[in-house]
Amino acid sequence: MLRIQVSGVDFSRVRMATRPDAMWETILSFHRLRDRRGSTVFGKWRKESRTRLNGETRLLSAVVPPRGYFPDFLTPSGGGAEPFGLDAGMEVLRDTPVDRIREELGLLAGSAALTRGPSGGHSPDALSEALAEGRTEPLGRLISSLRAYHRAAVEPYWPHIRASVEADRAVRGRALLDGGTDELLATLPPMIRWRAPVLEVDYPVDRDLRLGGRGLLLQPSYFCRGTPVVYRDPGLPPVLVYPVTHPEAPAVAEPGPWLGRLVGHTRSAVLRAIGNGCTTSELARRTGVSLASASQHACVLREAGLVRTLRHGSSVLHTLTPLGAALIRGGAPLAVP
């Protein structure tokens, strides 16, 4: 179990990440790619992603084992609620001090979870040795492989990933508005339990993490599964990466016949009324339609990929997906991580 000690100062500095973290999603998805569990959610994604991969997994396996510890430097954090995008994260990764790379790769080499790769220049030992020596060429190859892997396995699904994280943020945001930080921490997924002043987290090892007045960043993640993740180094900015609810499998967004169903002033008003999130009852009041009509409109918008719905207590909470938000903005392009 992981016990996060939350002081009074830390309690006032708990915050939610504003969006999914491209670096965390990339590394954690690589865990999911080699994990046979969760086939309902990840099975189709695994099959589709593997067809787009071209040898990137061989190099990445040298520094990211199938499960357990992986180096902290692979998922850099700026310490704020705004995560690094992919490009910014890669630049921070490129500037990682050699001493830190050497230390964290040493921890990886000593871990029982290390998976031995094929012999040759891409083997775990050879790559780790080259990186630990501070050579720029192997670090460049690692970054190139991470980029290529992200393009194949994460980028095509980014709208779905972002919608999942934003839906989770909406649920946590309502908890924060309804009952403050105490309610927010109490309504995190069931593998996380708030027993003030300690946040207990299901974890593969027994560990205590003292925040020391730095607060805690809550980072919902699509590809985190089962067990939340924190940095091994307690000196890094405290981040708790936890899994979002998965009502459906990820899919590449494609246009379909549902577009014609979106025509109409009422449905447009419903989409705008959802805004930053609302329940079906609130949606009915905002648009002046019946509860049954609001539910039906939300269902159509959900099928169109414009709205995401999660259960929140005894009601359901509707939020816009990035595609729905883009439609309201007049089709402005979505930001790419």
Q: Helix (H) and strand (E) counts for the chain?
A: 13, 10
pLDDT at 46 over 60: yes
Computed over every residue of the chain, the mean pLDDT equals: 85
pLDDT at 333 over 50: no
Query: How is residue 259 annotated by DSSP?
Result: G
Of the candidates 283, 325, 331, which has an alpha carbon nearest to the alpha carbon of residue 306?
Answer: 325
In the prediction, which pLDDT does 189 show?
A: 93
Contact 169, 222 (CB under 8 A): no
- If you write DSSP's letter for every residue of 158-220 in order, what string do you get? HHHHHHHHHHHHHHHHHHHHHHHHHHHHHTS-TTEEEETTEEEE--SS-EEEE-TTS-EEEEE
Question: How far from chain centre, in Å, is Cα 196?
Answer: 26
Question: How far from chain centre, in Å, is Cα 177?
Answer: 23
Q: What is the pTM of this model?
A: 0.78
Tens of pLDDT, residue by residue over 152-188, are 999 999 988 988 898 899 889 889 988 999 999 999 9
Tens of pLDDT, residue by residue over 227-276, are 999 999 999 999 999 999 876 666 665 544 444 456 477 888 888 888 87
The mean pLDDT of 88-109, rounded to a whole number, is: 90
In the prediction, which pLDDT does 90 show?
A: 94
State how far the Cα of 99 lies from the Cα of 37, in Å rounded to an integer.
Answer: 36
Binning pLDDT at 50, 70 and 90, where does residue 56 land? confident
State how far the Cα of 3 lies from the Cα of 12, in Å rounded to an integer.
Answer: 18
- 142: number of Cβ within 10 Å: 20
Please name every residue paired with 4 in a beta bridge, in sequence order, or none if there are none. 199, 209
State how far the Cα of 313 lies from the Cα of 280, in Å rounded to an integer.
Answer: 13
Sheet holding 14-16, edge to edge: 14-16, 216-221, 239-243
Helices 291-303 and 280-287 cross at an angle (nearest 10°) of 110
Side-chain-side CA neighbours of 279 within 13 Å: the count stands at 9
pLDDT at 82 over 60: yes
State how far the Cα of 322 lies from the Cα of 258, in Å rounded to an integer.
Answer: 17
Query: How is residue 117 annotated by DSSP?
Result: -
State how far the Cα of 251 lies from the Cα of 253, in Å rounded to an integer.
Answer: 6
Query: How is residue 262 annotated by DSSP?
Result: G
Contact 105, 128 (CB under 8 A): yes
The mean pLDDT of 305-314, rounded to a whole number, is: 83
In the prediction, which pLDDT does 121 show?
A: 40
pLDDT at 221 over 80: yes
In the prediction, which pLDDT does 248 show?
A: 64
Block residue for tokens 């246009």? 255
Tens of pLDDT, residue by residue over 109-119, are 776 443 443 33
Please name every residue paired with 113 in a beta bridge, in sequence order, or none if there are none. none
Phi, psi (5° rounding) for residue 281?
-65, -45
State how far the Cα of 306 lies from the Cα of 298, in Å rounded to an integer.
Answer: 9
The mean pLDDT of 20-31, rounded to a whole number, is: 95
pLDDT at 129 over 80: no
Tens of pLDDT, residue by residue over 143-153, are 999 999 999 99
Binning pLDDT at 50, 70 and 90, where does residue 329 land? low
- If you write DSSP's letter for every residue of 273-332 in order, what string do you get? HHTT-EEHHHHHHHHT--HHHHHHHHHHHHHTTSEEEEEETTEEEEEE-HHHHHHHTTSP
Binning pLDDT at 50, 70 and 90, where does residue 4 land? very high
